[in-house]
Structure formats: C-alpha cells, structure tokens
Chains A and B, each alone.
Chain A
Amino acid sequence: MATETVNVYIMGKRYTVPAGLTIMKAMEYAGYRFIRGCGCRGGFCGACGTVYRLPGDYRLKVGLACQTVVVDGMHLTQIPFFPANKATYDISELQPTLGVLLAHYPELSRCLGCNTCTKVCPQELEVMDIMAAAMRGDIEKVANMSFDCLMCGLCAARCPAEIVQYNIFILARRLYGRYLVPEAEHLRQRLAEIEEGRFDQELDRLTALDRESLVALYNARDIEP
C-alpha cells in the first residue's frame, strides 16, 4: 500500500497525512473528532464549508471538506457555522412577486454583480446570474437555477454586499413550488376518494388476510410496463 504523505496546516498547525484524503478524512486522521463541520459526508448537506489556501498563492479558496482532496502545503480552516440572516414568513400568505422577495430581503438590491458568489460555489451554480433573476423578480428562474443549492453558506460568507443568497433562493423555490406550478389534478381526485372512504374496505380486507392469500394476490398482481 502506498505511503505517500502530504503536510497540511490545520488552523496553522502542521500535520502529516496520507496523500489522496479529503480534507474531512485528513482532519480525522490528524486526530480531530468532528462535532460541527461534518454532516452527510457525501456532498449533499453543506455542513462542511472550508476555507483554504494553496502554497504560493495569496488567494483564499473555499470548498466542501468532504469533496476536496488535500494538497501538500495546504492551509485550511472550517466555517462550520455562519450567523446569517433569515427572514421568517408564513408561506401560505405570500405572493410570488419581486415585492415579496424585497420585503423579506431588502438587501437583495445591494448586489454589486461582482461574481464572487459564483466563483466560490462548490456546486458550480451561476449564483450571480440567479441573483440577477431575483432582482428582476423572475421567481421561476431563481427556483430552477438554484435547485442544486446545498445552502452551505460559502457565497454569503464572501459576499461584499452581505447578502444571504441561499436564504433568498429557498424563499423563491418555495414560492414557485406553492404558487407558480399548476396543481396535480390526479392528486386532488385521489385525496377526495380517500376522504370518501373509497379504499377503506379493500384495505381492511387486505390487512386481515392470511399470508398465503396475500402471497397469491401479490404474485398475481399486474405490473405496469
């Protein structure tokens, strides 16, 4: 087994760890037991936002600790929590309009268009373009373009206009899902049928059935192609 190692500097302190590890596993290898800064470990939850700098580079980079591999000479620290502003609202009493976005997040209009957010997004979302859509009140576009957002907060951490992009985006997605997408007619009908008790008898019969009869029914059921 290969024993190639690299040196990483976790909050300024040097540790020698096996090459090829993610930042998360390198920190564990070094002896850190995560409380914060670790969630799904698979790139879905956004818990493990990390700031790092590579040797010979003055620029700070950000990434998810569970998805970013350590590099020799890397300096890093995690940002496990960010005290971001979140508006509260009753989704059932809103309208899907620019006015609603601005009423909850007036700082939306402060966006400078600097594109820092896009550059840091670990999901490679076009964050600045989504912000532009939000400033036009194009809720549908915001919802669709921001769909893969993990809400890790790295954009907000770097935004010079101090906007919390991901909280604006979830408001837009919820407005879109609730108000702009047509209702499913088949769902409405099914709910009415269940409320009328249309399936009760059949379910009662099935729950009372012995195993043998149930197996027979299961094996005989037709399968939609």
Chain B
Amino acid sequence: MADAGYSQSMLESMRIVEQTRPRRMEEAFPRLEPEEKQQLLEQFHPDYRKDTTRQLRVGPNAGDRMPHELVDLLEARSRLDPESFQIEPWDYQTDVLVIGGGGAGSSAALTAAEAGVRVLLVTKLRLGDANTMMAQGGIQAADKPNDSPAIHYLDVMGGGGFVNDPVLVRALVRDAPFIIRWLEELGCMFTKEPDGTMITIHGGGTSRKRMHFARDYTGAEIMRTLRDEVRNRGLEVIEYSPAVELVLDDAGRCCGAVLWNLETGEYLTVQAKAVILATGGFGRLHVAGFPTTNHYGATADGLVMAYRAGASLRFLESTQFHPTGVAYPEQIVGLLVTEKVRGLGAQLVNARGEQFVYPLETRDAVSAAIIRECTHRGLGVTTPTGMQGVWLDSPMIDLIHGEGTIQRELPAMYRQYQRFGIDMSKHPILVYPTLHYQNGGVRIDEYGRTEVPGLYVAGETSGGVHGRNRLMGNSLLDILVFGRRAGRAAAEEVGSVRLGKPTLEHVRAYHRLLDEAGIETDRVSPMLLPDYLGKGARRS
C-alpha cells in the first residue's frame, strides 16, 4: 500500500471505510424521491447550477445559456486580424478540406476520396489523436433479428429527452448496420462467436443488446484501422496544423480555411470547394472545473470557427458528466471507472465511511450527490495533489460475489489500478465526476450540411442527434455515420461549385458584434491547446 502513495488522511479514512463495511453490507440506502432528486440536481449538477453557465451575448445564439468556458471562447476575438491578413496566394488548393483527424474526419476523408475528388485532411495533433481512440464501450447497431432500426430510434430519442432532431436520429439508426459492415470490410476485429455472430450487450438506456465491441479497445481498433486506411489510400494529411479560421467567399460560401503550423508558427491558407469540420468536442475546457476523460486536443475549436462563420449551435447547455471518474491515483485522474463496479454492489461512501446516495441512481443524480458530498457537506477525501473524491467501496464486490469476481469481471479496471500499486479488490478506490461528452454542437442536416453553404460538420462538433444526453455506444456510431454522409455529400457538391472572392469579412463582422455588445477582451480563440503550465496536478 505504501507504493500507492496514499496520504495519511486517506489511509485513516480507508480504515474507517473498512470498519463501517460490515454494517454497510446489511444496509440499503434509500432511493431519491422525485422532488428530492430534482432539488439535488438543481443545486449541485453543473448543468443546473446557474453559476456554471451564462448567456451568450453575440451571434445567432445570443441569449442562450452555455458553460462559461465556452462563452469565453465564443466571446473572443480571432487570432487573425481581418484587416491585414492576406488570404491569397493560397498555399494549398483542394476539392474537399477535412479539418480534424479523428473518427469523423478520417471517415469523411476516406468517403470523399472514394467518390474520386481531391481531399486534404488537416489536423491539430497526430492523425488519430482523438476521443475516438479512447472509446472503450462499443458501437450500437440494430442488426440482430429481435432488434430493428425503429427500436434503436426509440432508445435514442428517450435517452436524449425526446428533444433530439428526428431526421438525424433516423439517419443514425438506418445507417448503423452499414457502418458495421464497412468496418468489417476494412478488417476491424469485432468480438464474435466462432460462427461469425456478433457478440452484443446492453448499454445504459438500450432496450436490445446491440452494443458491438472489440474487446475493451473498440474505439482504438476503429481509429487505428481508419488511420491505416487513410495512409494506404495516400490521402494528403497535414498534422500539427489546426485550422484557426474558416474563409468565406463574397457570396457567403465557405471556401477554405486558415491553418496555423504549430511548430513553425506560420499561417497557411487552403482553398476548398467544400469544408468538413470534424474537430471533436470540448472536454479540455474543463467545464465548471471538472477533470475530463477527453484527449488533449478537445478544445471546441470547431464550435468557435463555425459560429463566427454564421452557423448556429444547439443543446450546448447540457454536458455529459460521468459520476465515477478516477480521483486517485493522480496519474489516471478523470479516466472512467465503469458503472459495472456499482452494478456489482460497490457502494459510494464519504470520508466518514457513510453512504450518501443509492449507488444506481441515474448518472446525473449520482454525480450531483458526489459533488454535494465534496463541496457543500465537506465530507470528501483530499488527495495529496489537492483533488477531492469519495470512496467507491470495491472490495464489497468480492465479499458479495466471492473472491476473484473483480479479476474475472473487471480485468481491465483491475489491471489499470494494479499498475499504480492499488489492489481494488482489497482497497476502496477514490472517484469524482468527470467531464465526458459534449452533447450539443453545430446544427446540421442529415448530410452534415450547416446553415453556411459549403460548410459541413460531423461528429462531436455537431449537435442534435443525441438531444440533451447521448447513450453509450452512439458516439462511435455518430462519427462514422455523419462522417461518411458529409464526405459523400461534399464530394457530390464540388462539381457544381463556383467560388467567389475569398474574404474574412465574417470575422470583421463578428468583431463588430463583440464591440457593439460592449465586450472588451483580449481573449483570442480557438484555444487550440489547453494551458497546464506549472499546474502539474488535478487536471488529467
């Protein structure tokens, strides 16, 4: 245990947890009453807390409430001075420009290239550095005889609070089996029965077992295969060169982008007949100060650029938090601890070894209860780096189901902790809610088209298909369905496109709106990379 580096106060609290365990084994914590739950959410869930959001003052969504961290980026100035920046001569010219090298961008690029047009893929980090790589759970598709796209449709709508865009959901569920087929043709290794039947399981909110998976590396398996294929097809890829602004022509059509070479600091301009924005979500904004499961580059760049170009946003008032992210050890802070741990009987307990919430309330309520315990009630446990958390009493699992259950049922999780000297079958693990997913984003139609002609959006940057809450297994599906659709639609469009004179007039106009709203700021956006200098801890 000394290896794990627990502080003295953590060790003391762990002893108390051990002492109260026999009593708690017999104890069932009551479920929340509906009013109680509503009150808990309103007071402590970051979505409901008034102090975590504010009204955006400019642009098509002026008046909408969004997280401060996002509003800060939307109410900021361009990195470019539209008065002096020279767009021409273009450094690159292509038919379809794809911005983003994750699952959505790669599938869009491959699909557009299949249609025979020129494609250029640009990305901020490496090709494949994306949340896609980190998705473990699986990908939904209604391809079993007892299932249907219609049943999948109902599950998606219910999960999203019935506010999802029906047209997008229809496309999602209808294309899903074709996506599985495409991945298999590319050589993705799904977990299957010996006869080829897909092994499928439930996810939260599914009414059929339709979660396909590739062991517990589903996203990584998909992403590395797509990356390999992008390279095999010889598509031109420019890494470490994020887009910092879109370029419109004098008729308001998106006709390219300005890139910034992160390593040389030079700006590069790309002319394109269609642009597909697939820059992912906003986890690295650390909304309301939360750690995140997201990769390094998830900084909402696409939202900022699309909004300045005139596209509207939706459902950004809701953020998906997962209640049990790792709070200790520091090395893996923010990573997910699967819901299965609670499903197998582990209780959530505070520093005094007391339960404070029924462990299988909905995710939003459990998150709020943990936050209340650590803030309002002051009963959280403090780690050596100053992070707060509550105990997830994992040793209960082997006590309830017999020794060896954890190693058998949760092997990846067990290994993950073992790596840092923690045996979760013997000692409780410390957890805190973690920022997981950007539910909303840029408004699109079923082909990924935005309100800006020539501009497409796919994947987590878009909003609507998941309503206010995404179900597990629908994000890997989303990025591929809409990546493919946008890639196909953009490729079809390029033949008939005539581009006018390129301008940054929209940026100038946006700056004017900021001035008129009295927003005086020296903030610039997109953010591109989070700033962790000198911090060293607390942020995953």
Query: B419 contacts the other chain (Cβ, under 8 Å)?
Result: yes
**A and B contact pairs by CB, cutoff 8 A, 26 listed:** A20-B5, A21-B537, A25-B537, A28-B535, A28-B536, A31-B533, A33-B529, A40-B133, A42-B134, A45-B134, A67-B419, A88-B231, A89-B232, A91-B185, A91-B186, A176-B187, A181-B189, A182-B196, A185-B196, A190-B142, A191-B181, A194-B177, A199-B149, A199-B174, A207-B167, A215-B162
Give residues of chain A (44-79) contacting chain B, Cβ–Cβ below 8 Å: 44-45, 47, 66-67, 69
Query: B307 contacts the other chain (Cβ, under 8 Å)?
Result: no
Residues of chain B whose beta carbon lies under 8 Å from any beta carbon of chain A: 5, 7, 125-126, 128-129, 131, 133-134, 142-146, 148-151, 153-155, 157-158, 162, 166-167, 169-170, 173-174, 177-178, 180-181, 184-190, 192, 194-198, 202, 207-209, 215, 217, 219-221, 224-225, 228-229, 231-232, 234, 240, 262-263, 293, 295-296, 329-332, 334-335, 382, 384-386, 419-420, 529, 531-537, 540
Asked if A174 and B187 sit within 8 Å, CB to CB, the answer is: yes
Residues of B within 8 A of A147 (CB): 189, 215, 217, 221
Residues of chain A whose beta carbon lies under 8 Å from any beta carbon of chain B: 1-2, 17-18, 20-22, 25-26, 28-29, 31-36, 38-45, 47, 66-67, 69, 86, 88-92, 143, 147-148, 150-151, 170, 173-178, 181-187, 189-191, 194, 199, 202-203, 206-208, 211, 214-215, 217-218, 221-224
Residues of A within 8 A of B154 (CB): 206, 214, 217-218, 221
Asked if B198 and A186 sit within 8 Å, CB to CB, the answer is: yes
Residues of B within 8 A of A47 (CB): 125-126, 129
Asked if B133 and A44 sit within 8 Å, CB to CB, the answer is: yes
Chain A minimum-CB-distance residue to B196: A182
Tell me which of B189, B296, B329, B386 contacts A34 (CB under 8 A): B296
Asked if B185 and A92 sit within 8 Å, CB to CB, the answer is: yes
Residues of B within 8 A of A89 (CB): 232
Asked if B529 and A88 sit within 8 Å, CB to CB, the answer is: no
Chain B contact residues: helix, strand, loop or mixed: loop
Asked if A42 and B129 sit within 8 Å, CB to CB, the answer is: no
Chain A minimum-CB-distance residue to B148: A199
Asked if B153 and A206 sit within 8 Å, CB to CB, the answer is: yes
Closest 3 CB pairs of A and B: A174-B187, A29-B536, A182-B196
Do A35 and B189 contact each other (CB < 8 Å), given the known contacts A42-B335, A206-B166? no
Tell me which of B185, B263, B385 contacts A20 (CB under 8 A): B385
Do A91 and B7 contact each other (CB < 8 Å), given the known contacts A39-B129, A206-B153? no
